[in-house]
């Protein structure tokens, strides 16, 4: 009998299990390495694979929501994680929530029963230098391996902490209030949107900000923030505000050089939003990295004039997160550009969230197997959410610092013309377009390749 090519997958989390399973389906032999139960990260506690370390929700099930569409794409493509999620779902309204113990057990059993997969227990401390490898060790990758990845990426290209400001859907900004302008008229005015505040508006906003609820800090997050070599020193906006009533007006909310188009005067304070992508569909709130809970971010940041009805593509976060600076380092297959037989998958590629990590595991696993089989790679187009994430990771946005991203419609290829019927109609059109492409181009291809 002909020997099957072998690939290695390191980490049996969401991305690693999906990658291993898809590669096995395509007919390669997979060695799946997992450090549990010998060693646990500070957030992992179960010996089973694909552990959900926090919430048991995989978020919206509605395909007019980007994460809902991503789940539907993965389900149609034959994702193991999606199969397990629907098999172990618990009632949660329009969201997909699971019984976490049953979910992990389902995946563990399926992996253990898959003929082409051999599970090897133990911590991996070196990056294998032969054959095809997928590294999927997650946001809490063990120290020894993280050090090797940092060396591989040139030392500064591996981040250990994610301090990100919220990203807003441009189409939901009230541009009757917010205006385009760069400070002192320097540069392209569409790079910045400005939300001016009167004294009274600032006062109300300030009081809401300093009294808003913050998310609970895990011990290992607290440690990461203390460590000066790994944390770049971004201060949460609410902490900066607590230093004094005017601190923000001399910091991220300074109004100088931004006269109002109506009067030519400067406002009492101005919040700036910076363009996040070439298409101008996403803007981040400059200097607003935050620890507020997601609910409080929505309540408090919607008090900013012009953002009354703002929709958040991504909320601000500050947490421990090991991720590589992927643009220029990874291709849209999640293979490293310098060494195409080495792939990364999951949260460490700069995608954010359970479903997003699964999606990157899917693409990396398929492409690692295709490479081992000497076959052409499979690149998902930007018109699909699975492809949009892969392209975002490999290309980044327009900002100089790469920030992890969750599934959203700001990264998907926009339509050439405006879709009538508002945001819901536009999102539904994105979903229809994506699922059509998958059905026509990819789903059949994968089904034909199945070996199970």
Minimum distance of ligand FAD from residue 48's CB (angstroms): 9
Q: Which stretch binds ligand FAD (CB under 6 A): 6-14, 244-252, 306-314, 328-336?
A: 6-14
Q: Distance between CA atoms of 248 and 202, rounded to whole angstroms?
A: 10
What is the longest distance spanned by two Cα atoms in the chain?
81
Q: Distance between CA atoms of 158 and 344, rounded to whole angstroms?
A: 13
Given 138, 255, 332, 396, the residue binding ligand FAD (CB under 6 A):
138
DSSP 166-190: -EEEGGGS-TTTSEE--GGG-S-GG
| Contact set for ligand FAD, span 15-74 (CB under 6 A) | 15-16, 33-36, 41, 43-44, 53-55
Please say which residue, 96 or 271, places its beta carbon nearer to ligand FAD: 96
Under 8 Å between Cβ of 361 and 177: no
With b for 16 or more beta-carbon neighbours within 10 A and e for fewer, the 31-43 pattern comes to bbbbbbeeeebee
Please say which residue, 125 or 451, places its beta carbon nearer to ligand FAD: 125
Q: How far is CA 274 from CA 169, 181, 190, 257, 281, in A?
A: 12, 10, 9, 16, 11
Token pair in block for residue 237: 């906006």
Minimum distance of ligand FAD from residue 224's CB (angstroms): 10
Minimum distance of ligand FAD from residue 43's CB (angstroms): 4
Under 8 Å between Cβ of 168 and 307: yes
Minimum distance of ligand FAD from residue 356's CB (angstroms): 7
Question: What is the C-alpha end-to-end distance of the chain, expressed in Å?
Answer: 18
Phi, psi (5° rounding) for residue 105? -65, -45
Minimum distance of ligand FAD from residue 65's CB (angstroms): 14
| Contact set for ligand FAD, span 218-237 (CB under 6 A) | 218
Given 8, 13, 77, 313, the residue binding ligand FAD (CB under 6 A):
13
Minimum distance of ligand FAD from residue 264's CB (angstroms): 46
Q: Which stretch binds ligand FAD (CB under 6 A): 4-12, 248-256, 267-275, 279-287?
A: 4-12
Q: Which stretch binds ligand FAD (CB under 6 A): 5-13, 97-105, 239-247, 422-430?
A: 5-13
- Our finding on whether 139 is near ligand FAD (CB under 6 A) is yes
Given 60, 137, 284, 367, the residue binding ligand FAD (CB under 6 A):
137
Q: Which stretch binds ligand FAD (CB under 6 A): 110-118, 135-143, 228-236, 281-289?
A: 135-143
Phi, psi (5° rounding) for residue 8? -110, 140
Q: How far is CA 408 from CA 90, 315, 389, in A?
A: 24, 12, 9
Q: Find residue 121's DSSP bridge partners.
A: 34
Q: Residue 395 CB: number of other CB atoms within 10 A?
A: 18
The residues that touch ligand FAD, with contacts defined as CB under 6 A, are: 10-16, 33-36, 41, 43-44, 53-55, 123-124, 136-142, 145, 218, 320, 346-348, 353-354, 357
């Amino acid at each position: 009998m002909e020997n099957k090519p072998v690939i290695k997958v390191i980490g049996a989390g969401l991305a690693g299990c999906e990658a291993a399973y898809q590669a096995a389906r395509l007919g390669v032999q997979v060695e799946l390495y997992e450090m549990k139960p010998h060693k646990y990260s500070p957030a992992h506690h179960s010996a089973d694979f694909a552990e959900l370390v926090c919430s048991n929700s995989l978020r919206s099930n509605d395909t007019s929501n980007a994460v809902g569409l991503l789940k539907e794409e993965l389900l149609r493509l034959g994702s193991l994680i999606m199969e397990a999620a629907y098999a172990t779902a618990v009632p949660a309204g329009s969201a997909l929530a699971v019984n976490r113990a049953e979910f992990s057990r389902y995946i563990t059993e399926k992996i253990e029963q898959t003929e082409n997969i051999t599970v090897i227990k133990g911590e991996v401390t070196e990056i294998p230098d032969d054959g095809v490898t997928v590294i999927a060790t997650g946001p809490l990758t063990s120290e020894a391996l993280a050090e090797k990845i940092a060396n591989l990426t040139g030392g500064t290209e591996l981040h250990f902490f994610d301090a990100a400001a919220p990203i807003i859907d441009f189409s939901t900004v009230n541009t009757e209030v917010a205006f385009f302008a760069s400070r002192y008229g320097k540069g392209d005015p569409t790079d910045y949107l400005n939300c001016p505040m009167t004294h009274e508006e600032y006062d109300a906003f300030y009081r809401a900000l300093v009294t808003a609820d913050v998310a609970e800090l895990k011990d290992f997050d607290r440690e990461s923030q203390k460590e000066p070599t790994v944390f770049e020193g971004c201060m949460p906006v609410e902490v900066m505000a607590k230093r004094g009533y005017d601190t923000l007006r001399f910091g991220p909310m300074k109004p100088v050089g931004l006269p109002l188009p109506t009067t030519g005067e400067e406002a009492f304070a101005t919040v700036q939003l910076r363009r996040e992508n070439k298409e101008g569909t996403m803007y981040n709130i400059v200097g607003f990295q935050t620890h507020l809970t997601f609910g409080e971010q929505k309540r408090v940041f919607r008090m900013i004039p012009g953002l009354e009805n703002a929709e958040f593509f991504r909320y601000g976060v500050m947490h421990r997160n090991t991720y590589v600076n992927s643009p220029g380092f990874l291709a849209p297959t999640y293979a490293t550009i310098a060494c195409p037989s080495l792939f990364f998958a999951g949260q460490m590629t700069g995608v954010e969230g359970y479903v997003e990590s699964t999606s990157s595991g899917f693409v990396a696993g398929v492409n690692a197997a295709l490479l081992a089989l000497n076959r052409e790679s499979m690149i998902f187009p930007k018109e699909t959410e699975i492809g949009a994430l892969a392209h975002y990771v490999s290309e980044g946005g327009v900002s100089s610092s790469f920030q992890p991203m969750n599934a959203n419609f700001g990264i998907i290829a926009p339509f050439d013309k405006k879709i009538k019927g508002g945001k819901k109609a536009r999102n539904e059109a994105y979903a229809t377009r994506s699922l059509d492409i998958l059905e026509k181009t990819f789903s059949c291809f994968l089904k034909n390749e199945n070996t199970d």
